[in-house]
């Protein structure tokens, strides 16, 4: 068991915010479509963004289109699919073409997930996610199925998250998304603050720290590059509220 991390300092006006969603801003649900955006969260983020001159981006494993639906009418800059796609503050959409081999992997994993109750294959278009939250006893089988599906496609990698195996093109991550945002207005010149909960957020933690910023792990203590910690999404929202006060 890792020692608890100290709480982060009070929000400062010169910060640039990079916020993961599931497990950080909102509680993780049994399925990706079952999450609930708490009352007041959209207003909190809107106020936080305004107070920091628009320097707030969502950085999530979800697709950008999904993020827009969840947080409508608040549409901040965002990095989706763990940094594979990005919408800048001026509305530019940066998104690669589908990686060769993904169709083959999709077909293999659809057949695998369909053979077992509780396994869910989430098709995000440019990436895939095999969830086993409802069938935790299938973890090793799911891992092996994903590894076998991608082994013939060297340009595609597997990332393990909380009860999920993510399948996505290599060469993209949340840390690079932070670096790219920090080179653009309105983020440039500010102190980057990355908030996340999962192992896929470690790239974001390291990028923020390398740029002289702050990294915050949400959830139970674990080995992490983050310097600060918050107990759960409710504690995270309470902390963020301090930066959105008018």
Of 190, 234, 204, nearest to 59 by C-alpha is 204
Asked if pLDDT for residue 2 goes beyond 80, the answer is no
**Domain limit, last residue, from 114, 145, 169:** 169
Active site residue 20: yes
Q: pLDDT, tens digit, for every residue of 120-129?
A: 999 998 999 9
Indicate if 28 and 83 belong to the same structural domain: yes
What CATH number is associated with residue 57? 3.40.50.1000
d(CA 245, CA 212): 25
Indicate if 68 and 29 belong to the same structural domain: yes
Q: pLDDT, tens digit, for every residue of 24-37?
A: 999 998 888 899 99
Of 58, 61, 55, 25, nearest to 173 by C-alpha is 61
Lowest mean pLDDT among 1-5, 48-52, 80-84, 169-173: 1-5
**% residues pLDDT > 90 (the chain):** 86
Q: Provide mean pLDDT across the span 34-45.
A: 95
Q: Provide mean pLDDT across the span 37-60.
A: 97
Asked if pLDDT for residue 43 goes beyond 50, the answer is yes
Indicate if 163 and 183 belong to the same structural domain: no
d(CA 109, CA 165): 11
Q: Provide mean pLDDT across the span 68-96.
A: 96
pLDDT band (50, 70, 90) for residue 111: very high
Asked if pLDDT for residue 200 goes beyond 50, the answer is yes
pLDDT at 100 (0 to 100): 83
pLDDT band (50, 70, 90) for residue 3: confident
Count how many domains the chain has. 2
Indicate if 118 and 23 belong to the same structural domain: no
Domain annotation covers residue 147: yes
Domain annotation covers residue 10: no
Domain annotation covers residue 2: no
Q: Over the chain, what HEC string results?
A: CCCCCCCCCCCCCCEEEEECCECCCECCCCCHHHCCCCCCHHHHHHHHHHHCCCCEEEECCCCHHHHHHHHCCCCCCEEEHHHCEEECCCCCEECCCCCCCHHHHHHHHHHHHHCCCCCEEEECCCCEEEECCCCHHHHHHHHHHHHHHHCCCCCEEEEEECCEEEEEECCCCHHHHHHHHHCCCCCCCCEEEEEECCHHHHHHHHHHHHCCCEEEEECCCCCCCCCEEECCHHHHHHHHHCCCCC
What CATH number is associated with residue 106? 3.30.70.1020
Domain annotation covers residue 214: yes
d(CA 95, CA 188): 22
Domain annotation covers residue 6: no
Q: What is the rounded average pLDDT for all residues in the chain? A: 94
Of 141, 207, 211, 215, nearest to 177 by C-alpha is 207
Asked if pLDDT for residue 1 goes beyond 80, the answer is no
* C-alpha gyration radius of the chain: 18
pLDDT band (50, 70, 90) for residue 246: very low
Indicate if 145 and 201 belong to the same structural domain: no
In the set 3, 14, 20, 197, the catalytic residue is 20
Phi/psi region, residue 177 (left: phi>0; alpha: psi -120 to 50; beta: rest), is: alpha
pLDDT at 196 (0 to 100): 98
Domain annotation covers residue 61: yes
pLDDT at 202 (0 to 100): 97
Of 194, 195, 220, nearest to 208 by C-alpha is 194
d(CA 32, CA 30): 7
Indicate if 137 and 160 belong to the same structural domain: yes
Indicate if 163 and 185 belong to the same structural domain: no
Assess contact for 217 and 5: CB atoms under 8 A. yes
Domain annotation covers residue 4: no
pLDDT at 50 (0 to 100): 97
Indicate if 176 and 156 belong to the same structural domain: no
Assess contact for 196 and 205: CB atoms under 8 A. yes
Q: pLDDT, tens digit, for every residue of 166-187?
A: 999 988 899 999 999 999 999 9
pLDDT at 32 (0 to 100): 86
Indicate if 90 and 200 belong to the same structural domain: yes
Parent domain of 236: 15-96+172-241
Indicate if 31 and 82 belong to the same structural domain: yes
**Domain limit, last residue, from 169, 189, 224:** 169
**Domain limit, last residue, from 169, 201, 221:** 169
Indicate if 141 and 232 belong to the same structural domain: no
Q: pLDDT, tens digit, for every residue of 133-156?
A: 999 999 999 999 999 999 989 889
Indicate if 58 and 179 belong to the same structural domain: yes
Domain annotation covers residue 246: no
């Amino acid at each position: 068991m890792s020692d608890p991390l100290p709480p982060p300092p009070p929000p400062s006006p010169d910060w640039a915010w990079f916020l993961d969603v599931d497990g950080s801003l909102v509680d993780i649900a049994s399925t990706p479509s079952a999450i609930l955006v708490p009352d007041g969260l959209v207003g909190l983020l809107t106020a936080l963004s305004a107070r920091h001159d628009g320097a707030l981006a969502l950085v999530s494993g979800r697709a950008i289109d999904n993020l827009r639906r969840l947080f409508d009418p608040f549409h901040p800059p965002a990095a989706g699919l763990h940094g594979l796609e990005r919408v800048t503050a001026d509305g530019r959409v940066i998104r690669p073409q589908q990686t060769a081999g993904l169709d083959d992997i999709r077909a293999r994993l659809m057949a695998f997930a369909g053979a077992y109750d509780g396994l869910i294959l989430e098709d995000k278009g440019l990436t895939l996610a095999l969830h086993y939250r409802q069938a935790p006893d299938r973890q090793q089988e799911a891992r092996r199925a994903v590894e076998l599906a991608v082994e013939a496609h060297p340009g595609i990698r597997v990332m393990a998250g909380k009860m999920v195996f993510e399948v996505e093109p290599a060469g993209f991550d949340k840390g690079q998304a932070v670096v790219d945002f920090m080179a653009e207005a309105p983020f440039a010149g500010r102190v980057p603050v990355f908030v996340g909960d999962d192992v896929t957020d470690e790239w974001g933690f390291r990028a923020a720290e390398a740029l002289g910023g702050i990294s915050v792990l949400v959830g139970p203590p674990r080995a992490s590059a983050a310097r600060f910690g918050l107990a759960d999404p409710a504690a995270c929202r309470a902390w963020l509220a301090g930066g959105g006060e008018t």
